[in-house]
Structure 1
Amino acid sequence: MSIRRQESTSDPVVEIELLLSDETVPAIAASEAEGCRFELEEFIPRGDDNHVEYYSVVGGDPGAVAEMVAEHEAREADLLSRREDAGLLEVLVSGDSPAMLLAENGALPRRVTVEDGDMTIAAEVPSSHDASAAIEAFTDAYEDSRLLAQRQQSYFTPLFSHREFEEAIEEALTDRQREALQAAHEAGYYEWPRQITCQELADRLDVATPTYTEHLRTAEQKLIQLLFEDGTVSEPDG
């Protein structure tokens, strides 16, 4: 399933590109130790200073990569699917990460790659935020980082066609998973700052909080796999 891009010229943004070589960041350390390449596919806030990052990993042993990332006290890693030297990795992060730090300062990461001990992040800063402030916050937090480029450009937003998206969702999600995801979206769960908690959403749907959380988490995982499946990563077991 392909992802198409549609250009909009209505709101120009500043694109910034940063380089980070801090081996205290688990993905950076793992890329150098295992000789693999990470690409950040998506990150999703979960509340309580937690968020989830989804990485495609190519090269090395995906299982060993997951174990190495999970050794960090602020990370939990789960290998969602794999094929020999490639996999899709879900990482639960407690506290900040490079991508989330930029997002919190108004810079939306569009491309994050990690290879040979270096992380390169390209992010877009809309006109409502200050690109210089986002850069300063990042370089202050990570001493071993520097700005590679800064330029003005138009938005490029990846989109499914409406028909493809509806068909993919219908096939991938159960009724409960779709209900959990729709309720979260409509109630502002994915807004920043978050407008509602998982417990409040569970109460609205009259289900136990762990049950609701599991439905939502599974729905998110399936969407990530649909959006970024390109033949490199196999379907998860079960």
Structure 2
Amino acid sequence: MPLAYEESVYGVLVVYGGSPARNSPDARDTEVLAELGETISHAIHAVEHRAAHRTDSAVELTLRTTATESPLSRLARVTGAEITFEGAVSGANETPTVFFTATGATPAALLAASDDVLAVEELTHVADREDGSLFKAHLSEPILASHLLKHDTTVRSLHVDAAAATIVVDLPASADVREVVEDVRRDVPDIELLSRRTRTRSPEAGGVSQPTVLDRLTPRQQEVLQLAYRSGYFESPRVQTGRDLADALDISPSTFTKHIRGAERGVLDAVFAGG
């Protein structure tokens, strides 16, 4: 199993048996071992990158592109919707699962359009909120945020409409801004840097940064936790039940419970580890 995190490959995990297998490998064993490989690679990534987020300052960049060929831009152009990025999780094959809210178009219109929009493999309407309809999308192509997240950035906002996409990100103070922008420009040639400023990070609860927490979670745990948080699972009374979210993820309720408990443990470890 490859030990890989986004574009970084740390090695390969090889597992041997004590005797020849009489039957073909069990699918469940394969899933468990694959998740083990993800967990190890995330741990290595956390060790290498956690120090970069301990500084009190960050470089805030605002960038804009009028290219409308990313999946979310195509969806906005076809439906006339305005899309606000909520979060993303990179899958094992580097294709993202994206959470976003949409206004200006009905959920039915967005779901119908997604069948014809290139690179939108699956679109799920999760919930209706005051600020718009919440969706979860499996994509086969990266979005603008994907090109920046690989540079250890934190996305503060991403707004997409039919004409343009505008993103605001934080970079570690030690980052080479020119190198980051030029790298993104290889994938998005018309990307324009609108502003750059150095700012002091806002104090975070318990002094724990979001990257520090997410580094402890596998991509699947991140997906389940984000879906639960953004769909009202943790509200009282619950807006969505565990069974509702299991259906949205196309998994069993017991598997949902396993992932949500594992994600909660990872978050609590990040908060309370070391006293």
Q: Same fold (TM over 0.5)?
A: yes
Q: State the AA in 2 paired with 1:153.
A: R
Cα gap change, 1:217/1:44 in structure 2, threshold over 3 Å: closer, same or farther? closer
**1:202-213 mapped onto 2 (5 Å cutoff):** none
Q: Structure 2: how far apart are the matches of 1:228 and 1:139?
A: 39
State the Cα deviation string for residues 126-148 of structure 1 (Å, max 9, x = none): 02422211111122211232111
Cα gap change, 1:145/1:216 in structure 2, threshold over 3 Å: closer, same or farther? closer
Partner residue of 2:229?
223
The answer to whether the Cα contact below 8 Å between 1:52 and 1:91 also exists between their aligned partners in 2 is yes
State the Cα deviation string for residues 35-66 of structure 1 (Å, max 9, x = none): 22111111122322132110011111222223
Q: 1:138 aligns with which of 184, 187, 196?
A: 184
Q: Structure 2: how far apart are the matches of 1:144 and 1:124?
A: 20
Structure 2 gap segments, 5+ residues each:
1-52, 207-213, 245-275
Q: State the AA in 2 paired with 1:225.
A: S
Q: Structure 2: how far apart are the matches of 1:151 and 1:85?
A: 28
Report the TM-score when normalising by structure 1: 0.63
Partner residue of 1:103?
149
Q: Structure 2: how far apart are the matches of 1:113 and 1:235?
A: 26
Cα gap change, 1:137/1:66 in structure 2, threshold over 3 Å: closer, same or farther? farther
Partner residue of 1:206?
none
Partner residue of 1:24?
69
The answer to whether the Cα contact below 8 Å between 2:153 and 2:169 also exists between their aligned partners in 1 is yes
Q: Structure 2: how far apart are the matches of 1:217 and 1:130?
A: 30
The answer to whether the Cα contact below 8 Å between 2:55 and 2:173 also exists between their aligned partners in 1 is no
- Tell me the SS of whatever aligns to 1:60: coil
State the Cα deviation string for residues 170-193 of structure 1 (Å, max 9, x = none): xxxxxxxxxxxxxx975x525xxx
The answer to whether the Cα contact below 8 Å between 1:17 and 1:121 also exists between their aligned partners in 2 is yes
Q: Structure 1: how far apart are the matches of 2:64 and 2:157?
A: 12
The answer to whether the Cα contact below 8 Å between 2:231 and 2:240 also exists between their aligned partners in 1 is no
Q: 2:113 aligns with which of 68, 83, 86?
A: 68
Cα gap change, 1:69/1:35 in structure 2, threshold over 3 Å: closer, same or farther? same
1:189 and 2:224 correspond? no
1:58 and 2:114 correspond? no
**1:123-162 mapped onto 2 (5 Å cutoff):** 123-156=169-202
Highest Rg: 1 or 2?
2
Q: What percentage of aligned pairs have identical amino acids?
A: 18
Q: State the AA in 2 paired with 1:118.
A: A
Q: Structure 1: how far apart are the matches of 2:120 and 2:75?
A: 15
Structure 1 gap segments, 5+ residues each:
1-7, 161-183, 191-212
Q: State the AA in 1 paired with 2:78.
A: A
The answer to whether the Cα contact below 8 Å between 1:105 and 1:137 also exists between their aligned partners in 2 is no
Q: 1:11 aligns with which of 28, 36, 56?
A: 56
Query: How far 1:99 sits from its partner (Å)?
Result: 0.3
- Tell me the SS of whatever aligns to 2:194: strand
- Tell me the SS of whatever aligns to 2:152: coil
The answer to whether the Cα contact below 8 Å between 1:105 and 1:133 also exists between their aligned partners in 2 is no
The answer to whether the Cα contact below 8 Å between 1:14 and 1:150 also exists between their aligned partners in 2 is yes
Report the TM-score when normalising by structure 2: 0.55
Q: State the AA in 1 paired with 2:231.
A: Q
The answer to whether the Cα contact below 8 Å between 1:9 and 1:154 also exists between their aligned partners in 2 is no
Q: Structure 2: how far apart are the matches of 1:115 and 1:130?
A: 29
